[in-house]
Amino acid sequence: MLRRLTLHGPGICWKETRTRTISQNKVVMSRKLHARRIEGIDKNIWVEFTHLAAEYKVVNLGQGFPDFPPPTFIQEAFGRAVSGDYAMHQYTRAFGHPPLVKILAKFFGRIIGRDVDPMEDFLITVGAYQALFCAFQALVDEGDEVIIIEPFFDCYYPMVKMAGGTAVYVPLRPRGICDQAQSVRSSADWVLSPEELASKFTPRTKAIVINTPNNPLGKVFQKEELQVIADLCVKHDVICISDEVYEWLTYDGNKHVKMASVSGMWERTVTIGSAGKSFSATGWKVGWAMAPAHIMKHLKTVHQNSVYHTATAAQEAVAMGFQREYDKFGTEDSYFVQLPSMLHAKRLRLAQCLESVGLQTIVPQGGYFMITDISSLKVDLNDPSTEGEPYDYRFVKWLIKEKGLATIPVSAFYSPEHRAGFENYIRFCFAKEDSTLNAAEDILRQWSKGK
């Protein structure tokens, strides 16, 4: 509807003139509206299952965030930051707040045993998610191949696709077990085949993506396993994007090894980290990428032309948190020691509960998550709205709607070519309050009794 100004003598009035009718007030363009790079990646498992969990008001062991608060010292640090002078409420350095990048360089330089330049080798991002996006956009070109180790965090594939690359998949497989229904007790039993991995490297391979500790499996890659990957990267002149957001969360004596510390890999590794996962404050959305300057300069180009800047006060608080952890590193007062100790107990508790109701668990070496085999459960999945979906998707939706418990289907972490072999697994998050775990246990035990 348009309005036309019409003059009537000495006065002026408005006269409405209808120029065209648009159905339901929507403008439809004749040309294609969307970019080709987003075709086929419009669906997102977190959007779908978060909405479903909220709609049914369930006990949520699906999403990977703690429902307990961050440690007091980091909350107090945030309070001091936002109560500071005007500078804490204004822009800081685009590539990272100076106090934060300086302590991160000092902290991780000590771990990997080399000098790290805070201004050249770090980029602070809006969560680890944006660090990954910057890495793929900056380093992957049209026609490049990117090897992704499965299971993988689901954003890797769409980010590779948007950059114009092609994803090539290599699954971790249960060691010595051909039948997926057999018992697999630990994430350590899931391994890469060196021969299969080597066969995926071609002249078009630009990068390989690893996630250790792995989400959703909880596998912690050992030094020997990383060396196999490193040797192939060096041989084929390939970059490694190493997603290490759960680096502090390892159990049963397992130790996280940074890929950048492996011989020959500092020069070709982009390490992804997360303050949200480090300090149980996922909503702060402070992440980082660490890489040598000749790689990092390209990530900075993407960053400065997208979000440009990350919240100043949150970066200041994280800097204070890492300074504290640097001073207390390895002691019982360190949060990076206390957090895995707390989650270790929750992990064992959830495993015992799942096993008590007849589920086969895969006990994780690290991370927030535990996956379990549901093939022994007989459930009548008669919801017509889920017909045609993978079995684990249908099962999880049934569990939400009928039992009030939210989990995540594991096949979402696999490529279409390997997904069918993993539709009998679901993922639980154990980084939750005891009251949340209690409620989940009650649901599982009541269900087990009613079988």
Task: Please check whether residue 6 lies inside any domain of the structure.
Answer: no
Residues 98 and 116 in one domain: yes
25: phi > 0 → left, psi -120 to 50 → alpha, else beta; which? left
Task: Please check whether residue 344 lies inside any domain of the structure.
Answer: yes
Residues 393 and 290 in one domain: no
Residues 344 and 413 in one domain: yes
For residue 4, what pLDDT is reported? 44
How many folded domains does the chain comprise?
Answer: 2
Which amino acid appears at position 289 of this protein?
Answer: A
Task: Please check whether residue 34 lies inside any domain of the structure.
Answer: no
**Pick from 327, 357, 392: which residue ends a domain?**
327
DSSP secondary structure letter of residue 399? I
Task: Please check whether residue 17 lies inside any domain of the structure.
Answer: no
Residues 289 and 433 in one domain: no
Task: Please check whether residue 79 lies inside any domain of the structure.
Answer: yes
Boundaries of domain holding 278:
72-327
Task: Please check whether residue 10 lies inside any domain of the structure.
Answer: no
Distances 326 to 104, 133, 397, 402 between C-alpha atoms, Å: 9, 28, 44, 47
**Pick from 293, 327, 361: which residue ends a domain?**
327
Residues 356 and 311 in one domain: no
Q: Which residues contact 122 (CB under 8 A, 6 or more apart)?
A: 95, 96, 101, 104, 105, 116, 288, 289, 290, 296
Q: What is 75-104 written as a DSSP string?
A: HHHHHHHHTS-GGGGS---TT--HHHHHHH
Residues 134 and 266 in one domain: yes
Q: What are the pLDDT tens digits along the chain (451 aa)?
A: 444 444 444 444 444 444 444 455 666 677 888 999 999 999 888 999 999 999 999 999 998 999 999 999 999 999 999 999 999 999 999 999 999 999 999 999 999 999 999 999 999 999 999 999 999 999 999 999 999 999 999 999 999 999 999 999 999 998 865 444 445 489 999 999 999 999 999 999 999 999 999 999 999 999 999 999 999 999 999 999 999 999 999 999 999 999 999 999 999 999 999 999 999 999 999 999 999 999 999 999 999 999 999 999 999 999 999 999 999 999 999 999 999 999 999 999 999 999 988 899 999 999 999 999 998 888 888 888 888 899 999 999 999 999 999 999 999 999 999 998 889 999 999 999 999 999 999 999 998 877 5
Which H helix or E strand runs over 372?
A: strand 369-373
Residues 49 and 132 in one domain: no
For residue 2, what pLDDT is reported? 43
Residues 131 and 170 in one domain: yes
Residues 242 and 299 in one domain: yes
Using only C-alpha atoms, the chain has a radius of gyration, in whole angstroms, of 25
Residues 234 and 296 in one domain: yes
